[in-house]
Structure 1
Amino acid sequence: MDSPRPLKRRRVSNPNLTTHPAAAPTANSPPPDPQNDPLLTHATHVLATEAAALAHITNLYLTSPPARTSLRAAVHCILTSQRAGGRLIACGVGKSAYIAQKLTATCKSLGIAAGFLHACEAVHGDLGDIRGERDVLLFVSFSGRTPELMGLLPHVPVGTRVIALTGHTEAGECGLLAGRTQEDGGEGSGRSSGILLPAPVLEREVLSFGVAAPTTSTTVALAVADMLALTVAGEMHGGRMGEVFKRNHPGGAIGVEGRETTRKQRQRKRKGGEEGVVPELPTPCVSASDDG
C-alpha cells in the first residue's frame, strides 16, 4: 500500500509583514536630510525652542530695569544673610524641586551656605531648617501659585526673607509674593520681605511641543538659578571663587583636573631640583557622577 503523500502547507500572507524590509542605516549610508526627516525636525525644534528661550531671558536681564533691580536685590539679600551666618534655603516641588536641588548643590560647591527644602516634607517637620530672619527662602515655581508652596507660606517663620523664581515679570502677579513688598536692590534695603526673580518663557510648552511637561520653563529656571549662584559667589569671593570651588570639589573628574592643574603650577614655580609630586586623592565612591 502506498504511503500517504504529505499535505502541502498553505502559505498564509501576513499583511503586517513586509516582503522586503527596509535596510538599517550603515556607517556608509548618507546622512538623512533633516528637512525631510520628521524625527530630526522634531528633535532640533526642541533645541531651537529652548535656545530661543535662553536668548530671551538673557535679553530681559540686559534690558529690563525691573529685572535688573530684582537681580541686584536678590544678590544683596543673600549676601546679607550669608554675612549674618544664615543660609539660602531653596524650596520646590515636582520638576521645580530638581532645579532647587541643583541650585543648592551649586551654591555649596561655591562656598555659599545653602540647603534644599521639599515643600511636602516641610510641613511634616522640615520647617526646622528655616531659622527666621537670618535665612532666605527661595521658591522655585513657574506658575508662582503651586498649591504645596502656597500652603507652606503661612508657616514660614516671621521675618524670613522670600525670593520667588517664577515665570512672572511683575511681583504683583506672583501668588507667592502676595502681601510682600518688593526689594529695591539697594545695599541697605534689608527690611522688605519679597523679591521676584523673573524666569519667563516666550511660549508655554503645550504650544511649543504639544505637551505641558516642564521643559523650556525648567531650562530657563536652571539658567537663572546658575546666574544667581555664580553672581553671589563672585561678590562673596571675588578672584578667589575658583580656589573655593576647587577646595570644595576634590572628587570626580573635576577634582582630578584641578589637582593636575595645581601640580603643574607647583612645578612651574620650582626653580630647580627634583620635581615634587602631588598625591592623587581617591574619588569619593558616594558620588553619583564622575563630573560632579
Structure 2
Amino acid sequence: MGRAKSGAGAGVGVGTGAGVDADERRQLTRQFGVPLAGLGVSVALVVYFGREWARAHARALGLHEGVLGTSTEDYLARGLVAMVPAFLVVGAVGLGWAWLDRRVRPWWRHARPGPVLGPALAVLAGSWLLLPMVATLVGRVQPGLGHVLLPLSFGVGPLVSVYVLHLEHVARRDVEPRWRRTLVASFTVAVVLVSLLWTTRNYADLLGRGWADEFPARLAEQAQVVVYSAERLHLTAPRVDEERLEGDASRYRYRYSGLRFLDFANGRYFLVSDGWMPQFGVVLVLSANDPSVRLEFVRDSRVP
C-alpha cells in the first residue's frame, strides 16, 4: 500500500513538472521567439531593400550592379535610411490594431449586426479581393503610388479578412479546429511575407527611378573631384578637362577636372562628369589603392 501510494505521488509530480515545463516553453516562445523572428524578418527586408535599391541605382547609371561591388553592410546601411520610416508606420499601425482589438473583442461578444454593421463586415471580409482592386484603380491615376500599393494590398487584405472571420467566431463563441487555425495562419503568414518582399522591391525600384530623374538637377550638389595622375588616364567624359603638368620634379603629369563624386565602394571611387546625363553619361572608376593617382575633393562654392 505504501509503495503504491508513493509511486502514484511520484507519477503526479512528474506529470505536473512536465506540464510546467511545457507552459514555460510556450511562454518563452511568445516572449522571445516572436520578437526575434520579427527582428530577423526586418533585417532581411532592410538588406533586400538595400540590394534592390542598388540595382535600381546601377541601372539608372547604365551599369550592372556587380560593377559597384556593394557589400552586405552597404545594403544594410542604405536600407535602414529608407526603411526606418516604413517600420515606424507599420509599428504604429500594429500597436493601434492591438489597442483596438482589446476594446473591440469584449464589446463584440454582445454586439448584434445591424443594418450598417452587417454590410460593413461583409465588405471587410472581402478585403482580400477589394483592396487589390482599389490599388489597381489607384495605379491607373498614380502609377508610382499604385506600384507600391498593389503588392501591399495582397498582404493587408488577407489580414483584415482573417481578422473579421476571427471576430465572427468570437461572437458565436465557437472554437475552430486546431488544424484549421494552423492552416489559415500558415497561409496568411506566407502571403504576407511574399507581399512584404514584393512591396519592398517595388518601393526600392520607385526610389531608384526617382533618384535617376532627380540626379541631373542635383549633380551640382555633389563634391567636385580633381584627379592627379602620373600617367595619362584618357578620361573621356562630357566636360572633363585634361591638363598636362609641367616640371620634371612633379610626381604627377596630368590633372583632370570637371568631375563629381558619386560613390565609394569596395576600395574604388566612382566619379561622374559635370556633363552627365541619362541619355549619355559616363561613370569613371578609380582604385583607392593606386599610388600613381591622387584625388582632391573640393567643395563647390556655388552650393550653399
TM-score, scaled relative to structure 2: 0.23
Q: Which has the higher helix share?
A: 2
TM-score, scaled relative to structure 1: 0.24
- Which has the higher Rg, Structure 1 or Structure 2? 2
